[in-house]
Amino acid sequence: MPSGLFALLDDVATIAKVAAASIDDVSAAASKAGVKAAGVVVDDTAVTPRYVTGFTPDRELPIIWRITKGSLFNKLVLILPALLLLSTLAPWAITPLLMLGGAYLCFEGAEKVIQSLQKDEATLAEHAVEVADKGHEEAMVKGAVRTDFILSAEIMVIALNEVLDEHLVMRGATLAVVAVLITVAVYGVVGLIVKMDDIGLHMAKEGSSGRRAVGRWLVAVMPKLLAALAAVGTAAMLWVGGQIFLHGLDEYHIGGLGHALHDLAHRIGGGLPLGGAWEWAIGAAGAGLFGLLLGGVIAGILHVLPGKKGGH
């Protein structure tokens, strides 16, 4: 009986060691995959605050929480099973789907550029009514979750690419860890950014003179930061979308635009100080310009042709 008990305890200890090793493997794989996806994570963080800008302070965190839940649903319920299935049965379908997502990001970014160039004739009172409208909040949340889906898909595909040689369970566990950690990190930072002006206002009301000065500075600088992030978010959508689409064209050996852009960036940036940084900047600018052109064409097709048909 004692020997049986010791044997059982030894088996439990062995299982525990295997489980711990598996957790370590998943953590290491998730860390590696997360680093590879860091560029898209930054884009995701820059894009999201523009969907919260303009709302009253009491609605900011609830809206971010709704987007966070939508993001987790995107990653864990929609994207993760689909990628595992595609990576097993139809790996050829991943690139076309990514290209469609990249084209959508280009369209979204081009739409924002077009809107920024158009004169806004609405009054402040009309903007206030629009922001207070429940339907406006619903539209912004849906738009944010829709854009998050594309960026999340890119993040998850990059993560999947790092663990393609692992078995199915390992791939699934790694993607799940990446999905949760990245979502918490992105929307935690977004929540902090959009509430920073409220924190500054609280600091400006009490405490030492230095604390109040910092608070006043935060209150003054946050609207400018949010406006800058909105611009960065638009640029990020064009850059990431253009890069995804160019990479897909290269995969199918169409046009060679992606390779040509890479070679151009290398030739120009390679001879400059901090050449790697210049290469990245030139490549990002080229991909963003391509994304703007592609998005503009899509916007033209969707807006001009329906206008001709519908007569408006």
Query: Which pLDDT belongs to residue 5?
Result: 46
Could you tell me what percent of the chain has a pLDDT over 90?
A: 12
Burial of 82 per CB tally in 10 Å (0-12, 13-18, 19+): middle
The pair of structure tokens assigned to 217 is 């500075």
**Residue of 116 and 31 predicted with greater confidence:** 116
> What mean pLDDT is predicted for residues 11-36?
47
Measured CA to CA in angstroms, residue 278 lies from 160, 243, 289 at distances of: 29, 17, 16
Label residues 148-184 b or e (16+ Cβ within 10 Å = b): bbbbbbbbbbbbbebbeebeeeebbbbbbbbbeebbe
pLDDT at position 25 over 70: no
Q: 290 Cβ partners below 8 Å, 6+ apart?
A: 242, 245, 246, 257, 261
- Which tens digit of pLDDT belongs to each residue from 56-115? 677 788 888 998 999 999 999 999 999 999 888 888 888 888 888 889 889 988 988 888
> What band does 122 get if pLDDT is binned at 50, 70 and 90?
low
DSSP letters along 153-207, please? HHHHHHHHHHTTTS-HHHHHHHHHHHHHHHHHHHHHHHHHHHHHHHHHHHHHHSS
In whole numbers, what is the pLDDT of the chain averaged over residues? 77
Query: Which pLDDT belongs to residue 295?
Result: 94
pLDDT at position 309 over 50: no
Radius of gyration of the chain (CA): 24
Query: Which pLDDT belongs to residue 13?
Result: 46
Query: Which pLDDT belongs to residue 311?
Result: 41
pLDDT at position 8 over 80: no
State the Cα–Cα distance between residues 293 and 261, nearest whole angstrom. Answer: 15
CB atoms closer than 10 angstroms to residue 252: 10
Are residues 246 and 287 in contact, defined by beta-carbon separation less than 8 angstroms? yes
Are residues 150 and 101 in contact, defined by beta-carbon separation less than 8 angstroms? yes
- Which tens digit of pLDDT belongs to each residue from 167-208? 888 888 888 888 888 888 888 888 888 788 788 888 888 888
pLDDT at position 132 over 70: no
